[in-house]
Amino acid sequence: MNDEKLKLILAGLAGLVFSLVFILLAFVLPLKNNFVSADIQARHTLEKISQGIKEGRYRPPPDQKGNSAELHKSSDDTPNH
């Protein structure tokens, strides 16, 4: 067989295999990214907790110290002018 014909046949087969690989990848890989990163999940959880606190559904334990406990304590200690 002539070397030129062999090169053309091998180039055509290589192109065919190359295109088939990408066609198969298109079927295997998902179109949407359904993975939600940990940062987005944490932010969503914090938003739900914040909304619950604003609506009064979540009450921290009485012995837990935090910003809201300090605010209530400081507002009780200050005299009214």
Q: Is residue 20 part of a domain?
A: yes
CB 41 within 8 A of CB 50: no
Domain housing 48: 3-61
Q: How far is CA 73 from CA 14, 56, 80, in A?
A: 76, 19, 14
What digits encode the pLDDT tens for the residues 38-51? Answer: 778 888 888 888 88
Provide the pLDDT for residue 13: 97
Q: What confidence tens digit (pLDDT) does each residue in 9-25 have?
A: 999 999 999 999 999 98
pTM to 2 decimal places:
0.37
Print burial letters for 6-43: b (CB count within 10 Å at least 16), e (below 16): eeeeeeeeeeeeeeeeeeeeeeeeeeeeeeeeeeeeee
Question: Which of the residue ranges 22-26, 47-51, 52-56, 61-65 would you say has the lowest mean pLDDT?
Answer: 61-65
Determine, yes or no, domain membership for 66: no
Number of independent structural domains in the chain: 1
